[in-house]
Each structure stands twice: as structure tokens, then as C-alpha cells.
Amino acid sequence: MSEHPLAQLTLVRFREFVREPEAIFWVFIFPILLAAGLGIAFRNRPPDVLKIGTLTPEFAQSLRREKLLDVQVLSGAEGTAALRNGKIALLVTPATGGVVVYNYDNTNPDARSARMLAEDAIENGAGRKNPVGSRDRILREPGSRYIDFLVPGLLGMNLMGSAIWGLGFAIVDARRKKLIKRLVATPMPRHYYLLSFVLSRLVLLAVEVAAVLGFGWFVFGVPVRGAIADLALLCVLASLSFSSLGLLIASRAQTIEAASGIMNCVMMPMWIVSGVFFSAQRFPDAVQPVIKALPLTAIIDALRANMLQGAGLAQVGPQIGVLAAWLVVCFAVALKLFRWR
Amino acid sequence: MPDAALRLRNLRKEYKDVVAVNGLDLEVAYGECFGLLGPNGAGKTTTIEICEGLTAPDSGDVELLGLRWSTGAPELRQRLGIQLQETQLSEKLTVLETIRLFRSFFRKGPAPDEVIALVQLDEKRNSRVGALSGGQKQRLAMACALVGDPDFLFLDEPTTGLDPQARRQLWDLIERFKESGRTILITTHYMDEAERLCDRVAIMDHGRIIALGTPRELIASIGIEHMVVFSAGSAGHPLDVSALTRIEGVREVRPENGAVRMQVTELHRAVPALIEELGRQAVPLTELRTHSATLEDVFVALTGRRLRDE
């Protein structure tokens, strides 16, 4: 094997990584477990059957023609109680003059759906003829499910976590043990030291991305519609950006505690606002420019555009710009601040 | 070739609240093993780290192997072997992997296996660093300093915290390096270590050199050659100490913890005279020890303090 210092330093990074079982868990196993858990929780179920109640058998007969409704005949008092405590979403009652009364909470989406289904069933049962003919074509296409939204988010989160943790802890630990100082006392070129982290990161990155995407594809059929080369390039760029952010975080910290404090301060807000688990669009418009400027938002948006919409690099230009800016600025500042002892 | 391997001129380094090195001048000759001695906080580590190019002095000049850090750093790094105080090498790597890493930084030097054999870690070559004992770790640190076949070796308290056997093994290693004719600068607060290894020593205190010379010269300079320590007498029958000062060749008599310490010039005259005097006073002798003056005694004589205030 090569005795070149950069090769040796990079090998050391690998050895230290694979001899740390916890690191392997957090980097490879955890995202897969998370995707599996969330994938199961949000799996596509057959459409829910809505429970409703009515007071008369006549109504019940009409309503039962609608398969998505589960109809119970109740007394007046039972019906009111069941509606109040949420056992049924809708109570259909007769009123004077043959009018039908739909009792429901109009802020509850289930209740609104139940009302529409119930009205159609009652009207059709009473002999309504629809003036315009219609039929249904059901679409349940990969690419629009929650798991499809989630996998790019988890991939982005993983890129960030492994780069920042991987670099940050390793560097601060080496500094705490005076190992950096010891290495600086040899003829080792300093940029090789930093470069070895980046190189080992890129190799591990390939494994991580393959693990998460492969799992999503095999188990849930999550698509990758864009070019694989584009996707790889985005992952590499993101990993480099997060690595330089990690480098900046670790550039001065002397203890693991200080470093992990800073890491949490940096990563936690991004986990929340950058759209890992739910769309970043839910935050107010006023903060959208800030959210869009975050590296995690940029990579997640770009990954979703690539994987789900098949977007090319040109279409994710703004996100690439954001990531590149973080890369350059953090690296430059980190080099200036880096404490070599 | 310049005449001195290391030349320090008027070196000064101040930290926030303390002057660590206060106008230091020093020359170390080629092939010399030079010791910097002193208590903790005397400025030894700051001085050696300035020499190693790891700390920049506030003022003063460092000339090392005829080079200066400002212009000759890459060359110097290749030619120095450095062992820092309290470096923890990566615990997850094996001995061989660690040596290969350090070896890869140097242009020339022995093969990793040769260095491992030199520090007698052959049996541990594939063990993780984390599984080594303190002495083995220190020998590994030494191996990392030797991989580049250095012309100048810096050792900062290499045996601190080691058991006597591990210290002796490390001393053997240092002596073998010394025999190859290369230069060593070592800091220590163990006087026996300095007396055994060093050709010359400088005693440091508060950032200055307060004494410089060979261990023998320094010991001779304080005019004490031997120390006699004894216990005699009892509460009911105390010893008349003043009579002892009249013995020929006795320079100082000092009671200490129930015993008496006497500085004497000639042991073969002072000890019989002491026994005779005790016989005259009819005081029984319960304990008698003699030792030759050490660098420790030099430090006490110069500063009035002990080296390690524990």
C-alpha cells in the first residue's frame, strides 16, 4: 500500500472510523431505521372508511350504498353523544319537510368528506340523476407519497450529520489529545491533514448515499428520475459544503463538549426548518429567504427536484450556488481560524 | 558547519499573566545531550517548544542546526525528532500503523519494523495503541520521534509518570541514540535522570537559567560533596548539636524531622568523627545514611526550595 503521507492519513481516518462501532450505527444504520419506521407509519393505506350515524333505517339504507361509509343507526341521544366524542364524523338526521340535516364539525376534514359522500348517497338513493357523466381513475404513483418526500430529506440530513460529526469530533478529539500539535511537529504538510478528512468523507459518502437510496428504492420504490451523475455531483458538493462547515465548527474548539454544543446549535435549526420531515414552505414567507439560504434546505430541495421531478443541474442552479457559497466561505474562514495545537 | 547545534539568544516569551521565558541564552554543541532542569512552571516546556518551532517567541533568536524557523522550517522539520509532553496517539490504531503514518512524513529514515524493533515493541507491533502500558506508549512516542532518523532529538519530560523499570528502558534507548553522536535536548524534573543522561545541564527557575554546567561541576559549585543524615538521642537524652559543627570538614548541621542533616566535605573523616562524638555524649545512634550531593541539592542550595513541591 502507498506510503504517501496523504494515503496514510486517509487510511488512518478510515481505520479510526471503522473501529468505532457507534459511528457506523449513526452513519449507516440509523437513517435506514428512520426511513423504515417513518415509511411504515406513513405507508399508503386503502382509503379510510368513515364512521357516521343516522337516526332512521331509511337513510341508513341509502347511505350504505356508499362503500366508504360505515353507517350505524342510533337513537337521538346516542347520536349526539357519539358525534360529540368523535366516534362518528357525521350524524344524518331528518327534519320537517323532508329536509336532511348533516350534523358535523366543518373544521374536521374527515367530517367534510363524510358529508359529501353522505349527501351523494342520499341524493342518489332518492333518484338523483347526474347531468354530467363521470368515472374514477385511481392514481397511486411513486413520487408523490410521503416516503418519496422523506427519503431525499433523510439523505440531506445524513449528508449534513455525517460530515459535521465526522469531521468535528475527530478534529476536536485530536486537538484535545495534542495529536494535531504532534503532527504539526513533523514535516507533514498541513493541508494534507485537512484533505485526508475530505477524501475519507467522500469515499464513505458513496456508501452512505447508496445505503439510503438503495433502501428507499428496494423497499418503498422511491424513484430517482434525474440523472444519477447529477445526483452524485449534488451529494459530493453538499458533503464538501458540510465538511467545511464542520471544519469551521471544529477550528477552535478545545473540548468535545464545546464542539458538540456548537454542532447542535448549527444543526438543530436546520433539521427543523429545512424541510427534512415536512415542507419548509409551512414557515412564514418572511423567513423563507433565510431558510432558502441554509445549506440543508438547498441540498434537500435539489435532491427532491432531481429524484422526484427529474430536474437537471441547470434547474437546481440556485441551490448549487448556495452550497458552493457555504463551501468557499466556511473553508476560507476555517483555514484562518484553525488552531493547530 | 556552525559550531553549535542549537543557539538561543535573549529568548523571551510572555503569556497573559506570567513571563514564561525571561531573556534566555543557551548553546548546545553537536553531539551533546543537554538537559533543561527545573520545577514545573520554570519555563522548560515553553523553551523547548520555541526550539521546536511550535511556539513563537516574543523576541530573541533561535538558531538550530545552522537554520532558522523563519526560513528553514521544512528542512528543520525533516531533521528533528520531537517527543511532546502528554501527546496521546490515536488509540484505535496499531503500533505498526502509527509508525507507518509518522514514517510517511519523512524523506528518509529506517523502515517501520526497524524502529519498532529499536524501541522493543516487536511483540506489540499489531496491538492497538489503547492496549499498551504507559511505558510502552512512551516508547512508541519515542519511536515516532526517531522514524525520520533525526539529527536533533527533543524530549520533553519523557519519563514522567513511568515506573522505575520503564524509565530505565527509556534511558537505555536515549543512551543508544546518544552513542550515535547526535544531539539531544531533554527537559526533566528528575535529577537522577539528568545526572545519568546529560553531558551538561541548565537549571531553570522563573524563566531564567540559574546554573549551567556539567552535573559534576554544578554539584561541586555549591561546595557540598556529601550529605550525612542520621538520627540519634531521645527526648530524655538529647543530642548536643552544637558539638557537631566543630568536627573538621562539617559545613552545616541542620535538624530535620527528628533527624540531623550534615553537609560534609570528606566522608572518611566526618563519619568516624561523628561516631566518636556520639560515643562521647553517650547518645545511641538509631539511623545513619550518607549520600553524595545531587543536582537536587544544587537546586535547593540555589533557590531554597525543593524541585518537586508535593
Tally Cβ neighbours within 10 Å of residue B212.
16
Please give the Cα distance from B19 to A132 (Å, whole number): 95
Within a domain: B297: no
Select from B104, B126, B128, B149 the residue whose CB has the most chain A CBs within 10 Å, as the one to mutate to test that interface: B104
Strands B208-213 and A69-73: unpaired
DSSP B36-57: EE--TTSSHHHHHHHHTTSS--
Interface contact B104-A184, CB threshold 8 A:
no
Angle between helices A317-337 and A295-309 in degrees, nearest 10:
150
Single pTM value for the model = 0.76
Contacts of B103 in chain A (CB under 8 A): 3
Question: Which domain, by its residues, includes B192?
Answer: 6-219
- Chain B: residue whose CA lies nearest to A19: B92
CATH superfamily of A50-138: abc type-2 transporter like domain (3.40.1710.10)
Residues B287 and B249 in one domain: yes
Residues B255 and B207 in one domain: no
The residues, any chain, with a CB within 8 Å of residue A58's CB and separated by 6 or more, are none
Q: Mind listing the pLDDT tens digit for each residue in A216-244?
A: 888 888 888 889 999 999 999 999 999 99
Angle CA B70–B74–B76, to nearest 5? 80
User: Which three cell numbers mark B19?
Assistant: 513571563
Q: Mind listing the pLDDT tens digit for each residue in A102-152?
A: 999 888 888 898 898 888 888 888 887 788 888 877 766 666 778 888 889
Report ipTM (2 d.p.).
0.82
Query: What residue spans define the domains of chain A?
Result: 50-138, 146-337
Residues B213 and B245 in one domain: no
Residues B99 and B146 in one domain: yes
Average pLDDT over residues A8-26: 85
Q: Of B84, B88, B104, which has the smallest distance from its Cβ to A5's Cβ?
A: B104
- Chain A: residue whose CA lies nearest to B147: A186
Within a domain: B300: no
Average pLDDT over residues B280-289: 86
Within a domain: B121: yes
Q: Mind listing the pLDDT tens digit for each residue in B96-125?
A: 999 999 999 999 999 999 999 999 999 999
Chain A contact present for B82, CB below 8 A: yes
Classify each residue of A302-333 as buried b or exposed e, where b means 16 or more C-beta atoms within 10 Å of its C-beta: bbbbbbbeebebeebeebbebbeebbeebbee
User: Which three cell numbers mark A190?
Assistant: 498541513
A13 three-state secondary structure: helix
Residues B270 and B161 in one domain: no
Contact B62, B51 (CB under 8 A): yes
Please tell me the total count of domains within chain B: 2
A158 three-state secondary structure: helix
Q: Mind listing the pLDDT tens digit for each residue in B9-55?
A: 999 999 988 889 999 999 999 999 999 998 888 889 999 999 999 99
- The residue out of B156, B191, B219 marking a domain boundary is B219
CA distance A185 to chain B (A): 7
DSSP B90-140: -TTSBHHHHHHHHHHT-SS---HHHHHHHTT-GGGTTSBGGGS-HHHHHHH
Low-confidence winner among A33-47, B65-79, B116-130, B138-152 (lowest mean pLDDT): A33-47
CA B68 → CA A26, A34, B47, B59, B225, distances in Å?
A: 47, 57, 15, 14, 41
In this predicted structure, what is the pLDDT of residue B284? 84
Please give the Cα distance from B111 to B103 (Å, whole number): 8
**For chain B, percent of residues with pLDDT exceeding 90:** 48
Whichever domain contains B255, its CATH number is 3.30.70.980
Residues B78 and B123 in one domain: yes
